[in-house]
Every structure is written in C-alpha cells, then in structure tokens.
Structure 1
Amino acid sequence: MDWSILGWIALIIAAVGFLVACIAVAIVLFSVKKNLDYVAETLDGMDGQIQGITRESTDLLHKSNRLVEDVQGKVEKLNSVVDAVQGVGYSVQNLNTSVDRVTNSITTNISENEEQIAQVVQWSNVAMEIADKWQQRQQRSGAVKGRY
C-alpha cells in the first residue's frame, strides 16, 4: 500500500473524528443553552419576587418607624404620669410620717399624764352621779308639788 492512500485515510478518519467532536460539542452547548435559559427565567422570576419583598420590607420599615415614634410619644406622656404618681407617693409618705409623730406624741402624753387622767375620770364619774341625784331630787320635789 501506498503511503499516500494511508495518509488520505488518516485524514478522512481525522476529519470524521473532528466532525463527531464538533457535533458532540454542539449538543453539549445546546443543552447548556437550555439550562442557562431556564436559569435566566428563574432569576427573572426571583428578581420580581425580590423587588416585591424589598417593597414590603420598606413599607414594614416605615410602619415600624411610625410605631416607634408613637410609642416614644406615649412613653413621654406616661413619664409625666409616673412623675405625678411619684409625687403623690412622697406626699402620702410624708403624711404617714406626720401621723406617726402625732400618734407617738399622744401616746407619750397619755403615758406621762396617766394618773391625772384617771383622777379626771373619777371626778367626772362623781360629777355625773351628783347630777343624776340632783335630777332625781328635782323630779321628786316636782311630783310632790304637783299633788298639792
């Protein structure tokens, strides 16, 4: 055989191999193109969803900011109420302290003047007995005058 025929056969085999390789690469590229198209569609859908989420997040952030401002305003108003209640608490505490002092003073005075108080009570009882007897006598003498 001639080397030139062998060269032509090798060239034909190489050309057929190159053609098969090109067809295989084309098939792979078409498959990759389909997958990339699918990925692009998915990303477009995700882009729309992400924009929707971004809008909702922005709206939620604005609402949260308004809510925080509202709560801060109410807290400031509540601070004045707490201050007023604290003032009432101080007043009640001062009143309790004053009542304790007065009670202690009265208890001390009663303890110191216990004997004198007992004497006043005894004299009061005597005075009431005398007044009762006086009334009884007046009634008796009025009854006696009424008979005559």
Structure 2
Amino acid sequence: MSWLLYISIAIIAIAFAFLVVYLIRTLKSLEKTLTNVASTVESLEKQMDGITKESEELLHKTNRLADDIQTKSESLDTVFTSVRELGDSLQRVNQSVRYVSERVSVKAEEQADNTAQAVQWGHVMIDLWSKWKAKKEAVTSDHHQSKEGS
C-alpha cells in the first residue's frame, strides 16, 4: 500500500504542476490584458486632457463672444431709442400738420362765400378797368385823328 501512497503523491504533484502551469499562463494573459488596459487608460487620459483644454478654450471664446454681443447690443439700444424718439417726433409733426390742414379747411369753408364774392368783385373791377381803358384809347385815337384832319 505504500506504493499507492507514492502514486497518489505523484498524481497530486503532477496535478499541482499542471495547476501551476495553467495558473502561470492565466496570470501572464492577465498581465498582457492589464498592460493593454493601462495603455488604453493612459491614452484616454491624454485625449481627455486635450478635450479639456479645447473645451476651456471654447468656453473662453464663447465668453468673449457673449461680452462682444452684449456690448454691441447695448450700443444698439441707443440707436433703437433714437429711432423711437424720431418716430414720436414724426408722429407729433404729422398730428400738427393734420391739425393745421383741418383748420385751413374749416377756415376755407367759412370764407368760401367771401372768397366767391371777392372773385366776383374782382371780375367786375377788371371789366370796368377794361372799359375805361378802351374809352380812353378811343378818346385818344379820336383826338389824334382830329388833329391830323385839321
């Protein structure tokens, strides 16, 4: 039976050796995997640093752009205020012109009869003046003819 003990120990030793060999292979494979993971993580860290720097630059540019837009917007506010004031002024001028036009129309209607009468009197005066001038010319031409005939 002692030979059974030696065979059992030999089988245990061989099994232990196989176990150690497979364990070593597994550990070496795990080492390669962990090395790859480490290099991947290192690469990701570098990429993240680049992305972080670019993000910070983009954020700074965005802030500068927002400040520029704010400044330009404030300067446009004065333009819009001026345009609004100009519009108000034009509206007041339009109201004044409308008021004056209405007043002129009302006065013209009130004075329409007087104007018509003045025009009639003007025609009468022109007719009288024309007749007077014609008589004067007739008298003058008769006077010249009588002097020539004598």
TM-score when scaled to structure 2? 0.81
- In the alignment, which residue of structure 2 is the partner of 1:15? 13
Q: Which amino acid aligns with 1:20?
A: F
- In the alignment, which residue of structure 2 is the partner of 1:30? 28
Aligned CA distance change for structure 1 residues 131 and 63 (closer, same or farther; 3 Å)? farther
- In the alignment, structure 2 segments of 5+ residues that lack a partner are none
Percent identical across equivalent pairs?
34
Deviating more after overlay: 126-135 vs 91-100: 126-135
- The answer to whether structure 1 residue 94 and structure 2 residue 98 are counterparts is no
Superposed CA deviations along residues 38-92 of structure 1, whole A, max 9, x for unmatched, are 1211221221121111111111111111111111111111111111111101100
Aligned CA distance change for structure 1 residues 74 and 135 (closer, same or farther; 3 Å)? farther
Instruction: Give me the whole-angstrom Cα distance separating, in 2, the residues matched to 1:134 and 1:101.
Output: 46
- In the alignment, which residue of structure 2 is the partner of 1:108? 106
Instruction: Give me the whole-angstrom Cα distance separating, in 1, the residues matched to 2:63 and 2:10.
Output: 76
The alignment yields a C-alpha RMSD, in angstroms, of 2.4
**How many residues matched?**
145
TM-score when scaled to structure 1? 0.82
Q: Bigger relative contact order, structure 1 or 2, given CA contacts below 8 A and separation 6+? A: 1
Q: Report matched runs for 1:65-84 at 5 Å.
A: 65-84=63-82
- In the alignment, which residue of structure 2 is the partner of 1:122? 120
- In the alignment, structure 1 segments of 5+ residues that lack a partner are none
Aligned CA distance change for structure 1 residues 137 and 15 (closer, same or farther; 3 Å)? farther
